Structure 1
Amino acid sequence: MTKKKEDTPFSIEEIALRRTASEIRSINDVILKNYVNAAESFGMLCAVDPALVDAHLMAHAGLAREDIERLRKLYAAIAGPLKEHMMLLLNSGISINAIDALADAHEDVQVSAVKMLDASKVLRIDEIAVLSELREVKAKPDWMRWEKHRSSTLESLAQPAVKIKIASLESKARVVVDGLYRFDEYWSDGSFEHDQHLYKDCHRILVSDASQALREFENVVGTGESLVELRTEDANYLAASYFALRQVSEGNFGYGYGFSLQRDVGVGGLSLADALSQLVPFDDYNSSAPKKAAPLKVLELCAGSGGMALGLQAAGFQHIALYDKGLSGILCGGPVH
C-alpha cells in the first residue's frame, strides 16, 4: 500500500492573505447590507416632496445631494427588476461600486447580470460595463454603429493635424507678441521719434504677422464673436486674443491708438500683448516679456562735455544732446561713422 501524501502546510504569507480576504469579505457584506437597507428606507418617502426629503437628509443625515440621488436610484432598482434577486446579490460579494453601476444599468443588463450570479460568478463593475456596451451594440441599428465608428475614426486620425495647427497658431502668436514688445521698446526709448522709417517698417511687419496669425486662429478656433456667444470666462479670454490680433492686423495701434485692447469682452482692461497670452505657451510668453529695462541710448550733457560725448557715442549711445548755456544752444550728435 502506498502511503497517503500529507498536505503541505500553508506559509505565513498564505495564512495572512486568507485572513485578510476573509475579513474584507465580511466587512463588505456588512457595508453592502447596510447600504441596501438605507436605499430601501426611501420606500417610506415616496409620497413626500423630493425637495423636502433632500433638505432634511442634507441637514440631519449628513448626506450630499449626489448621495441622496444615488440611494434613490438604488431603491428604484431593488424595488423593480432586482427585487426577486436581492438575497442572491447580497450573498454574492458584490461591491458597492458594482451595485451602484447595476442600479444605473438598463433593465436588460440587470437581467443578464443576475444570470451571471446564478452561475456563481463574481459580478464586478467592469463586467457590468461590458454588458452595457453589448446591449448598446445590439440596440443600435447598423447605420448608427457604422456612423459612430466613422466619426470616431475621423476624430482620432485628425487629432495630430489639429495639434500641428495649434502649434502653428501658437508660433505665429508668439511672433506678434515679440513684435509688440519690440515696438513698445522702440516707442519708449524714442527711436521712432528720430526715425519715422523705422516706425513704418515695424508697424507694417506687425500688421503682416498679425494678419497671418488671425487667419490661423479662424481656421483652428473660429471667430471672436462665436467665442463670446459661449458666455464662459475661458472663451472670453480667447476671444480677447482674437480681437487683439484683428486690431493689430488692421493697424490700430501705436500713434493715435496706443497699445490697449479696444474691444471689451468682459475680462477687464488688457494690453494687446496681454490679450494674446492665451495663445502663447507660458514659457514662451514669459520669455517674450522684457526681463530688464531697455539699455540707455539717449544722453543729455551740459556744456564742456563734447569730448566725452564722442566717447559715449562710440560706446553705443545713439543720441547725444549738448546744452550750451541754455536750451537754445542744443547741439545734437549723430552716430559715429
Structure 2
Amino acid sequence: MADIDAKAQALSAARNRILQLQEQMTDKVLQMAAEVEKLMEAVPASEAKAFLKARCNLPAVELATYVGFAKTLKGSEEVLRKSRASFPVTKALVAAAPDVRKEILERMAIGAQIDTKDVAAISRRLEAAKLTPKQAMAAYQRNILAAAARKRTKDSLASFQTDVASFVDDLRRLWLKLLPETDVVCEGLRHRASDLLKVFETLYGAEHRPASEITQTNREYPVAIAYHALRQFRDGQFGGDFGYGLGDRDGTTKAIDALQPFTGKVPVQVGKVRERKPPTELVGPLRPRALELCAGGGGMALGLEQAGYRHVALIEFDRNAAATLRKNRPQWKVVEADIRKIDFTQYRKDRIDLLAGGLPCTPFSSVGERKGKHDDNDLLMEGVRAVKEVQPRSFVFENVEGLLHAKHADYVAALLRKLSKLGYETAIHRINSRDYGIAQNRARILIVGIHKKLGGAFRMPPRFPEMATNMGDVLADLMGANGWSGVADWVRTMQERPFVERGQVIQKGFLSDTIRGYQGSAQNGEGIRALRNGVSYAPPAKGAPTNEEASNEGFVPGLTNRMRSRLQGFPDEWEFVGGLGAVADQVGNAVAPKVAQAVGLAIYSALKAYEIDWKKMMWPSGRRLSIEPPLIDGVPATLVENNELSGFSCEMVG
C-alpha cells in the first residue's frame, strides 16, 4: 500500500510540475510574439527581421512564426494560454489556413488537447471537403499513383545501391591486387558496369556534361562524374592503379571514388590504404589553391602558405603593401589593383579552394567614425561579389568584432542572406590571436563559408593555451638592442604580471593590446591604458629605448614597428616596404600569420575530411618559444637558436 501511495504521489507531483512548466513555456512564446510585434511597429519590417536574426540569434523558422502571430493569432492569447499550446502547435496554427485555424481554436476553447498531428489531419479533411466527388476521386487516384511511383523508385534505388556497392568492392579488390586481373575478371566487371549504366540512366538520365565543364560545387558534378566513371568501366578502362582522373581540377578524383556515394555506404578500407597527406606535404597542382583579396603586408598570405596553400594571386591596392609582398615572395603573383574594379570571373577556371581576405575593417572598428555600410572603405559586399564570380569551394573574410554591433544587424543579415543564396553554409566565428602563441590580445571575427554541395562541416581550430607567451619573452632582445639597462626589470614585470580580462585572470604574463595601424597619437583611452600596461602605444617608436631616454621623468618604452611586427607573429626576416606610417599600417591591419595558418588548416580539414595533427603541423618542434632577456648591464642577450617557423631568434624551452 505504501508503495502505491509513493508512486501516486510521484506521478501527481510530476504532473503538477510539468503542467506548470508547460504554462511557463506558453507564456514565453506569447511574450516573444508581443515583443516582436512591438519591434515591427517601431522599425521597418526588413530591419526588424535582420536585427532579430543577426543580434538575437532567432532562427528563421521561429522568426516566421513570431512575425506572423500578430496577423493570425492576435486576440487568441487566452485560448492558447489555457490550452498550454506549445511552440510547434503555435507554429502550425500560424501557417494553417484560416478555416483550419478557426476550428482548432474552437476545439482548444472547449478544452481539447491539440498537437501538430491534429492540425495536419484537420487541414487535410477540410481541404478534401472543398472538392467535388469527381475532384476528390481524381486527387485520390493521383496520390495512389504517386505513392506507387515513389515505392518503385525507392525499390529500384535500393537495388541499384546494393549492386553498385558490390561492384565497387570488387573494383577495390582488383586495384589492391586482392583479385587477379585476368581477362575473365575484367570482362565480368565490364558487363556489370554496362548493366549498372542502364539502370543509372533510368534513375538519373543519360545526358551529362563532361566533368571538366562542371565545377565541384555544382549540383551536377557528383552525378556527372559517376556517369563517366561507369562509361569508362563499361569500356574496359581498368588500368593499373586507377590513376586516371575524370577531368576534375587536379586528377585526384578516381573513377572508383566517383561511384562510392551511390553505394549508400561509408567506404570500407580493404587491404593497404594510402594515407592522405597534409596540405604542407602536397606538391604542384595537388596543393590547395588560394586567391586573396586585400592581402596587405602578407599576414594572412604567410599563414596560408604555412598551412600548405598555393596562391593563384594576391590582390592589394596599396603600393607599399604590394611591394612588401613582392620583396618577400618574388614568386607570388601580386596584382596591384582596387578589388572594386576587378572582374573575378577570370579566376573561376583556376578552381579556387579558398577565397580569403582581410577586408578593410575601419567602417566597423570601435575607433574612428564607425560609418559601417556607408563607409567608402567597406568592401565586404565586394567580397560577396568575388564569391559569386569565382565560385570557390570555401571562403574566409576577417573583420573586427564591431561588425556585430546592433547598428550593423541589418547589414550582417543581408550579407549572410546573399552568401546563402550563392550556395554556401556560412557562419560567423570569433577568434583571438592570444590562443595561438601570440603575445597580443587581438579579438577578431571570421566569416567562413563552405559550399553546401561539398558536404563538409567547418569547425574552428582548437585553442592552445599551453603555447601562451607574453610581451617580455617576445620583445626582450628588441627592447635591449640599444643598451637600456632597465630592460631586465621590464621583461620580468611583463612575465610576472597576469593578464586580466573582465575580472578574470586569463594567463600569467602580460599581453599587448591590439596592434593597430599608424596613429599620430593614441586615441580615446588607448594611450592611458598603454602607459599603465608598461609601454607607450602611439606613435610607433623609431628605435629601442636608450638609457638617456629612460632617465626622463615618466618614461615608458615605446614599440617600434619591428616590435609590433613580432607581436603580430611575423618572422623577423619579413621585410616591410615604406616609411614609418606605411609600415605601421601594414603591421596593424594584418591578420596574425599563426591565426591564418590555423584557420587555413581547419578549412582544409572541412574540404578534404582530413584529420589535422594540430601540434605537429603548427609547431613541428612541439616546443614553446621564448627569448632570453638581455643582461642587466645592457648587453643584449646571446641568441641561442634561430627558429625558422617563428622567424625570430629565440631559445627553445622545453
Relative to structure 1, is the Cα distance of residues 139 and 146 closer, same or farther in structure 2, using a 3 angstrom cutoff? farther
CA deviation map 1:162-215 (0-9, x unaligned): 4224323433444444445549987xxxxxxxxxxx7x7776565445434433
Residue in 2 that maps onto 1:107: 98
What SS does the corresponding residue of 2:111 show, helix, strand or coil? coil
Query: How far did 1:109 drift?
Result: 0.9
Q: Please tell me the residue identity of whatever aligns with 1:215.
A: K
Query: How far did 1:91 drift?
Result: 1.9
Counterparts of 2:80 and 2:101 in 1: how far apart (Å)?
A: 11
Residue in 2 that maps onto 1:120: 111
Query: How far did 1:272 drift?
Result: 3.4
Q: 2:23 aligns with which of 10, 24, 29?
A: 29
Relative to structure 1, is the Cα distance of residues 285 and 156 closer, same or farther in structure 2, using a 3 angstrom cutoff? same
Contact 1:175 1:209 in 2 (8 A): no
Counterparts of 2:189 and 2:125 in 1: how far apart (Å)?
A: 57
Residue in 1 that maps onto 2:456: none
| Count of residue pairs brought into register by the alignment | 264
Residue in 2 that maps onto 1:167: 162
Counterparts of 2:216 and 2:254 in 1: how far apart (Å)?
A: 22
Query: How far did 1:127 drift?
Result: 1.9
Relative to structure 1, is the Cα distance of residues 61 and 243 closer, same or farther in structure 2, using a 3 angstrom cutoff? closer
Counterparts of 2:187 and 2:18 in 1: how far apart (Å)?
A: 73
Residue in 2 that maps onto 1:274: 257
Residue in 1 that maps onto 2:7: 13
What SS does the corresponding residue of 1:11 show, helix, strand or coil? helix
Q: Does 1:146 align with 2:129?
A: no
Relative to structure 1, is the Cα distance of residues 152 and 87 closer, same or farther in structure 2, using a 3 angstrom cutoff? same
Where do 1:269-308 residues align within 5 Å? 269-280=252-263, 286-287=269-270
Q: 2:230 aligns with which of 236, 245, 260?
A: 245
Q: Please tell me the residue identity of whatever aligns with 1:211.
A: S
Q: Does 1:133 align with 2:124?
A: yes
What SS does the corresponding residue of 1:151 show, helix, strand or coil? helix
- Normalized per residue, which structure has more helix? 1
Where do 1:316-335 residues align within 5 Å? none
Q: 2:80 aligns with which of 85, 89, 93?
A: 89
Query: How far did 1:111 drift?
Result: 0.9
Ranges in structure 2 where 5+ consecutive residues have no aligned partner: 275-654
Relative to structure 1, is the Cα distance of residues 268 and 75 closer, same or farther in structure 2, using a 3 angstrom cutoff? farther
Residue in 2 that maps onto 1:264: 247
Relative to structure 1, is the Cα distance of residues 125 and 237 closer, same or farther in structure 2, using a 3 angstrom cutoff? closer
Identical positions, percent: 17
CA deviation map 1:305-335 (0-9, x unaligned): xxxxxxxxxxxxxxxxxxxxxxxxxxxxxxx
Query: How far did 1:130 drift?
Result: 1.8
Relative to structure 1, is the Cα distance of residues 203 and 68 closer, same or farther in structure 2, using a 3 angstrom cutoff? closer
Counterparts of 1:291 and 1:62 in 2: how far apart (Å)?
A: 44
Counterparts of 1:165 and 1:282 in 2: how far apart (Å)?
A: 12
Counterparts of 2:56 and 2:103 in 1: how far apart (Å)?
A: 35
CA deviation map 1:20-79 (0-9, x unaligned): 322332332233233213212333324632331133334554534433222112222223
Counterparts of 1:253 and 1:26 in 2: how far apart (Å)?
A: 68
Where do 1:35-74 residues align within 5 Å? 35-44=29-38, 45-46=40-41, 48-58=43-53, 60-74=55-69
Relative to structure 1, is the Cα distance of residues 57 and 185 closer, same or farther in structure 2, using a 3 angstrom cutoff? same
Relative to structure 1, is the Cα distance of residues 63 and 163 closer, same or farther in structure 2, using a 3 angstrom cutoff? closer
Contact 1:97 1:125 in 2 (8 A): yes
Query: How far did 1:112 drift?
Result: 0.7
| TM-score normalised by L of structure 1 | 0.62
Where do 1:220-235 residues align within 5 Å? 220-223=203-206, 225=208
Where do 1:188-227 residues align within 5 Å? 207-223=190-206, 225=208
Relative to structure 1, is the Cα distance of residues 11 and 133 closer, same or farther in structure 2, using a 3 angstrom cutoff? same
Counterparts of 1:91 and 1:109 in 2: how far apart (Å)?
A: 19
Larger of the two Rg values belongs to structure: 1
Query: How far did 1:244 drift?
Result: 2.0
What SS does the corresponding residue of 1:225 show, helix, strand or coil? coil
Where do 1:180-191 residues align within 5 Å? 180-182=175-177
CA deviation map 1:120-156 (0-9, x unaligned): 3223333222212212322453212321122113322
CA deviation map 1:290-309 (0-9, x unaligned): 579xxxxxxxxxxxxxxxxx
What SS does the corresponding residue of 2:208 show, helix, strand or coil? helix
Counterparts of 2:148 and 2:129 in 1: how far apart (Å)?
A: 21
Q: Please tell me the residue identity of whatever aligns with 2:73.
A: I
What SS does the corresponding residue of 1:41 show, helix, strand or coil? helix
Alignment root-mean-square deviation, CA: 3.9
Counterparts of 1:236 and 1:69 in 2: how far apart (Å)?
A: 34
Q: Please tell me the residue identity of whatever aligns with 1:66.
A: V
CA deviation map 1:206-261 (0-9, x unaligned): 54454344334324443471797897567533432321221233345649xx8434
Relative to structure 1, is the Cα distance of residues 176 and 184 closer, same or farther in structure 2, using a 3 angstrom cutoff? closer
Relative to structure 1, is the Cα distance of residues 260 and 21 closer, same or farther in structure 2, using a 3 angstrom cutoff? same
Relative to structure 1, is the Cα distance of residues 162 and 114 closer, same or farther in structure 2, using a 3 angstrom cutoff? same
